[in-house]
Chain A
């Protein structure tokens, strides 16, 4: 569950360590935010796109994540990479967003993502892999927890803090998410791929 190597960032952004960047950001320096964006926008957007299954929302969520990060930069814990921290902020925003639109999400969840995906004309979605489609069938809390753990490499403690849920709930969600994902994948393979 180690975090992966980040994409190469512009030369300027490479000059400062993440903690240094966060210190600058805490003093309100615009350049630091730019550097942070250059460094982490790609993984953050990928996380958000997958977590939400909704490409339309990703820009605003990424935007809000970076702005929140800027606001609470002074509280950064100083670890070498702030990617998990950013992902944690993004997850918190997703949680709030989900509360705000819980009824809408409930309708989507009732379709288990399948109907939505089939109806979606976007080629990017149609070309998605089986695992991506299966991921779309998970409830958002499970999907987010699974992505945070398996893709972003956050520990269960970190996830529990970011989502403000007991660690036991993290474990339960991870277990349920894996089980559902495997069942969905098994069903796809058994049914010849497409549902």
Chain B
């Protein structure tokens, strides 16, 4: 058996796909009878195997991988921010600087965006996805902006229905003493003498944010009316203050609100996180912030709680609400003084 062969170079050609058709089959027949070529083929295979197995050893540690993941998502998110932050939305939101940290109970989980997109594609959009009925004494106005429908209620009662299957727009009800964010729903809201007097939710859920109080998520069947005492100061947010009926979720604005957290029912962390991410992905940043807050409240020990706390800051940042961003950043720092995103959160508190 010879140790070399004039066709030896073809072994590599075969491996690299340089031989095709008849050329290939002819050389394959040769390979089966030529010892030198067979040894060469084996040597090349062994070299490749060695290369592959040598690369298998080094795995970086879990924490590092997570940290890098967060960094990546934040960078991607940053790239999206300029388009998501319309200047007029930002300036308006700046005016509502007193609005508190958001909260939301995810009453109707957002399905995978794919499916909702498919649904939206199947059904033609009706002309009016948001309907507002006002009582005769109501003083209110309605404004449309890019991606945002704003209803300003001074006094009186409104009954609102939003069909989120056909509308991708956010609906915000501006109240004399706060605001109400809709998350796919039918609800009524009343105001009088500069205060919100009643919110009832028939379907879906809303987040009620009143100045000086933690946000309240109201689900289907919930009704809210102001507590007999004046609104609780922000420092006392641990108390589930405005009396929300049934299972309405009161979110802690600070990590010390342990008992409020404990009162919250268990949910599927993965579904909750996904719902929050879906909101963020769809550009519904206010809802995303509320959902991340809800995630934190429901699953404070979950591995993704820190991600949620950080993404909540980002969601606020994207809405342009700097007061809420700062609060969320402080909340993050209080929860995770040595967190992955400590430096970024620190910068955002100012």
* A interface with B by C-beta (< 8 Å): 1, 4, 11-12, 15-16, 20, 23-24, 27-34, 37-38, 41-42, 45-47, 49-50, 59, 62-63, 66-67, 70, 124, 128-129, 131-132, 135, 146-147, 149-151, 155-157, 170-171, 174-175, 178, 181-182
Which of the listed residues B12, B58, B75, B112 has the most CB atoms from chain A within 10 Å of its own CB? B58
Interface string of B270-284 (1 = CB under 8 A from A): 100010011011100
Interface band, chain B = 35 or more
Once the chains are docked, how many angstroms separate the CA of A151 from the CA of B77? 32
Q: A20-B114, A182-B43 are in contact. List 20 more A-B contacts (CB 8 A).
A: A1-B15, A24-B113, A24-B114, A29-B282, A30-B281, A31-B281, A32-B281, A33-B72, A38-B69, A41-B69, A45-B60, A59-B68, A66-B72, A66-B76, A67-B75, A131-B50, A131-B51, A132-B54, A135-B54, A171-B13
Contact A63 B277 (CB under 8 A): no
Interface residues of B in 62-79 (CB under 8 A from A): 65, 68-69, 71-73, 75-77, 79
Question: Which residue of A is nearest B56, CB measured?
Answer: A46
Interface string of B43-64 (1 = CB under 8 A from A): 1100110111011101110000
Contact A149 B16 (CB under 8 A): yes
Contact B52 A4 (CB under 8 A): yes
Contact A63 B75 (CB under 8 A): yes
Once the chains are docked, how many angstroms separate the CA of A66 from the CA of B73? 10
Give min CB distance, A134 to chain B, whole Å: 10
Known: A29-B281, A129-B54. Is A178-B73 also a contact (CB below 8 A)?
A: no
Once the chains are docked, how many angstroms separate the CA of A146 from the CA of B12? 13
The secondary-structure label for the interface of chain A is helix
Contact A31 B69 (CB under 8 A): no
Contact B68 A41 (CB under 8 A): yes
Contact B16 A156 (CB under 8 A): yes
Question: Which residue of A is nearest B44, CB measured?
Answer: A178
Give min CB distance, A112 to chain B, whole Å: 18
* B interface with A by C-beta (< 8 Å): 12-13, 15-18, 43-44, 47-48, 50-52, 54-56, 58-60, 65, 68-69, 71-73, 75-77, 79-80, 112-114, 270, 274, 277-278, 280-282
Contact B73 A30 (CB under 8 A): yes
A67 cross-chain contacts in B, Cβ below 8 A: 72, 75-76, 79
Contact B71 A63 (CB under 8 A): yes
Contact B76 A30 (CB under 8 A): yes
Once the chains are docked, how many angstroms separate the CA of A66 from the CA of B280? 19
Across chains A and B, the number of contacting residue pairs, with CB separation under 8 Å, is: 108
Once the chains are docked, how many angstroms separate the CA of A15 from the CA of B112? 10
Question: Which residue of B is nearest A43, CB measured?
Answer: B55
Question: Which residue of B is nearest A149, CB measured?
Answer: B16
Give min CB distance, A166 to chain B, whole Å: 13
Question: Which residue of B is nearest A59, CB measured?
Answer: B68
Which of the listed residues B16, B72, B80, B112 has the most CB atoms from chain A within 10 Å of its own CB? B72
Give min CB distance, A138 to chain B, whole Å: 11
A182 cross-chain contacts in B, Cβ below 8 A: 43, 47
- Kindly identify which residue among A23, A34, A59, A62 contacts B73, using a CB–CB cutoff of 8 Å: A34
Contact A30 B51 (CB under 8 A): no
Contact A155 B17 (CB under 8 A): yes
Contact A150 B113 (CB under 8 A): no
B58 cross-chain contacts in A, Cβ below 8 A: 46, 49, 124
Once the chains are docked, how many angstroms separate the CA of A30 from the CA of B288? 12
Question: Which residue of A is nearest B18, CB measured?
Answer: A171
B17 cross-chain contacts in A, Cβ below 8 A: 155-157
A41 cross-chain contacts in B, Cβ below 8 A: 65, 68-69
B48 cross-chain contacts in A, Cβ below 8 A: 1, 150-151
B54 cross-chain contacts in A, Cβ below 8 A: 128-129, 131-132, 135
Give min CB distance, A170 to chain B, whole Å: 8
Question: Which residue of B is nearest A71, CB measured?
Answer: B79
A37 cross-chain contacts in B, Cβ below 8 A: 69, 72-73
- Kindly identify which residue among A20, A62, A174, A178 contacts B68, using a CB–CB cutoff of 8 Å: A62
Once the chains are docked, how many angstroms separate the CA of A27 from the CA of B121? 15
A49 cross-chain contacts in B, Cβ below 8 A: 58
Contact A181 B47 (CB under 8 A): yes
- Kindly identify which residue among A20, A33, A62, A157 contacts B76, using a CB–CB cutoff of 8 Å: A33
A42 cross-chain contacts in B, Cβ below 8 A: 59, 65
